[in-house]
Structure 1
């Protein structure tokens, strides 16, 4: 099923995806990208760090936004053009993160600007930003 075209998306429309971040998720992500920072993978070293325990990679959290864009709003066929983001709180192993996108502006009737937010299970914002995407073209009938 193709995602929504620019014509089919209403400003203010939202979609979300939630995932509990596990130790396995963090280790797999670290192995894929090569970021073996002790803050993510070394419990003893992380205890001495500013957060007192291991945290998930910020970009792992940001990847949940990509899931919403590519699978829900606009959905399949969407091309992710850019992202501005700010990490506002750490994500710990066991946190359930909800990534939400909200359509904010249609640019040149071709691109879509979306507010991007990730919150933890306590409703605290852990990531805040804005994405630009190219939604799929409207399917011919």
Structure 2
């Protein structure tokens, strides 16, 4: 992990992280957050929903964006200011989700970076899109 300061970040910089969502991920997320919505953890219940099967928590997939921000771009020491999200398609157990962040604006004077953020499944479907505003770590 490399710490990037505002001076090292340029419009067009991009980073990504991929993970296959497992049943264990869904149960662990439910346990940590307390979100035991049966659409996520009860197959019988989920069979009667619009999705016909269990789906991952939207914020579980959105958390993969946080991985990119905290570990790569800008990286360690970055502070979230804002994150807007649009949930466009469901994520199911076994889906491989790639979170992508790309720099769209750099404001040196404010120490702010704006990123286009999105998550894409293995079929190329955008499941989440949004925008993040961050404050990168400062020089030590």
- TM-score normalised to the size of structure 2? 0.96
5+ long unaligned stretches in structure 1: none
Q: Give the root-mean-square deviation of aligned CA atoms.
A: 1.0
- The gaps in structure 2 that reach 5 residues or longer are none
Paired residues of 1:2 and 1:77 also in contact (CA < 8 A): no
- The correspondence of residues 1-141 of structure 1 with structure 2, limited to 5 A, is 2-107=2-107, 108-139=109-140
Distance 1:25 1:2 in 2: 27
- What's the secondary structure of 1:90's corresponding residue? coil
Structure 1: 4+ residue segments shifted above 4 A? none
Indicate the SS of the match to 2:132.
Answer: strand
Determine if contact 1:6/1:109 at 8 Å carries over to the other structure.
Answer: no
CA contact (8 A) 1:13 1:102 kept: yes
Matches of 1:82 and 1:23, distance apart in 2? 29
Q: C-alpha distance in 1, partners of 2:64/2:89? A: 16
Instruction: Determine helix, strand or coil for the equivalent of 1:73.
Output: coil
TM-superposed CA distance for 1:138, in Å, is 2.6
- Distance in 2, Cα, partners of 1:34 & 1:113: 31
TM-superposed CA distance for 1:2, in Å, is 4.5
1:132 and 1:70 map into 2 onto residues whose CA distance is: 13
TM-score, scaled to structure 1: 0.95
**Cα displacement string for residues 70-101 of structure 1 (whole angstroms, at most 9, x for unaligned residues):** 00101111111110010000000000000000
Give distance in 1, aligned partners of 2:10 and 2:111: 14
1:109 CA displacement: 4.2
